[in-house]
Amino acid sequence: MASKRVLVTGLSTYWGGRLAQALESFDEIEAIIGVDNEDPTVELERTEYVKVSAQHALLRRVVEAAEVDTVIDTRLVVDSATTTPSKAHENNVIGTMNILAACSGTDSPVRKFVFKSSTHFYGCEQDDPAFFDESMGRPHSPRTPIERDIVEAEASVNDFAEKTPDVSASILRFANVLGPDVRTSHIQLFSLPAVPMILGFDPRYQFVHEDDVVHALEHAVKSEVSGLFNVAGDGVLALTEVAGLLGKPYAPILPPWGTGLAASAMRRLGLRIPPEAMAQLRYGRGVDNRRFKATGFRYGYTSREAVLKLGEHLRLHPLVRGAQEPYRYEREVEEFLRWSPHVRGSRKREAALTQEDLSGLRRLLAAQGDGERTGPEPERRPPTRQAPVEHYDDLEPEEVVALLGSLERDDLLALQGYERQHAARRSVLEAIESVLARAEV
């Protein structure tokens, strides 16, 4: 069954956002609906955002009204450092239950359910196999709250899959994710000047790059897979090897006995190692990733390459930090851009913001400005030089304001002059003045 109408839960999480962005580029997917109770954190083009918490009655109405055929649940919290245990439980167990309830029922349009889980499902124990494969359960019952949540959430997905045999359900268990954009406890540990270790232990680690996570979810949507799958890059690294690849020394600062006490002391110093990461620092974990490969998926990165990529990012990060403004979701702007009759065509609306137009605008402004400011521009005057002018006049005040941040001071001055002579919209003039005033300071 080819997915056409997709619902992504957890749109505001890193994974939900990235997945929705990735799905937008597939033309065969005609509708992408994202639900979450918080605003999206990435810029989305055609994904519809519905602000709704995991309430099954509301979700069910969304699912049925939009005739959603595929639900991708990316919401699972797998890192207990990101939230409190009770919130994690609420999200992981109760939330999953509600989403499953919204997808079940005899008349439900849902035909496919993809669940993002974690290899924390297996836990880390002394008597683990070196490579977990999908058919193995946990050797012991879960010890940490987050593992308990994951096991419970997966159990309810399995239950759902059994009760609704016409829905193809798949669970993807991801190994520790590394990448420049995602934040996890382990990346935090690896960002320290030295990689902390437990004295006398060199655990085995397997990683998956963030892009591979998105591709794996995409693959699960687009191809005919169902069942359980481990998703982890090829290769299992020892932690000392990871430190070497990152170009950092390793520091066996945690004692082998009384590790919990030492960890709580470190928490006071500001280094928080969640309990599931602590278990991994001791025993490590490897998984067998072949079953997912057998479905035709190919990884972009091995574990080693994922670590190398992270290392590159960590070296560069202090230099480029803050250069990019984080995206902020503004409902009114998004709605205007999507639905206003003044925006020309749903696809064209983005044209108002492209770099080409910006530079066109700049050229125009340069020409409009004082005669002496010729600049280096006359090398290529486009024949349709007038278009940007008309275009500019068509821009709504809000859009002009949105553009201001990206303009230089001189351009701003020129724009101010142009605006005064032509439309002289007050909101625009005020905005330009305030931007200029900020630039003075």
Contact footprint for another protein (CB under 8 A): 125-131, 133, 135-141, 198-202, 204, 234-238, 241, 256, 282-283, 286, 288-291, 293-294, 302, 304
Coil/strand/helix, residue 112 = strand
- The span from the CA of 351 to the CA of 197, in Å, is 51
**Which residue's CB is nearer to another protein, number 26 or number 131?**
131
**What is the C-alpha separation between 343 and 117, in angstroms, rounded?**
40
Closest CB 92 distance from another protein, rounded Å: 19
- At closest approach, how far in Å is the CB of 294 from another protein? 6
Which residue number, 129 or 378, has a Cβ lying nearer to another protein?
A: 129
**Cβ 206 to another protein, closest distance in Å?**
9
Quick check: 327 and 41 in contact, CB under 8 A? Answer: yes
- Residues 361, 320, 376, CA angle at the centre, nearest 5°? 30
CB nearer to another protein: give 216 or 395: 216
In whole angstroms, what separates CA 278 from the centre of its chain? 25
Range 378-386, long-range pairs (CB < 8 A, 24+ positions): none
Residue among 132 and 418 whose Cβ is closer to another protein: 132
For the beta carbon of residue 180, count every other beta carbon within 10 angstroms. Answer: 15
Min dist. Cβ of residue 291 to another protein (A): 7
Please write down the HEC assignment for all residues of 18-45.
Answer: HHHHHHHCCCCCCEEEEEECCCCCCCCC
CB of 106 or CB of 135, closer to another protein: 135
Q: Which of 119, 99, 232 is nearest to 169 (CA)?
A: 99
What span, in angstroms and rounded, lies between the C-alpha atoms of 184 and 397? Answer: 40
Identify which of residues 102 and 198 has a Cβ nearer to another protein in the complex.
198
- Least Å distance, CB 125 to another protein, is 7
Angle between helix 355-368 and helix 386-394 axes, rounded to 10 deg: 110
Place of tokens 């439309």: 423
Q: Residue type at 29? A: I
Q: Which is nearer to another protein, 70 or 170 (CB)?
A: 170
Q: Report in angstroms how near the CB of residue 282 gets to another protein at its nearest.
A: 8
Find the shortest distance in angstroms from Cβ 200 to another protein.
3
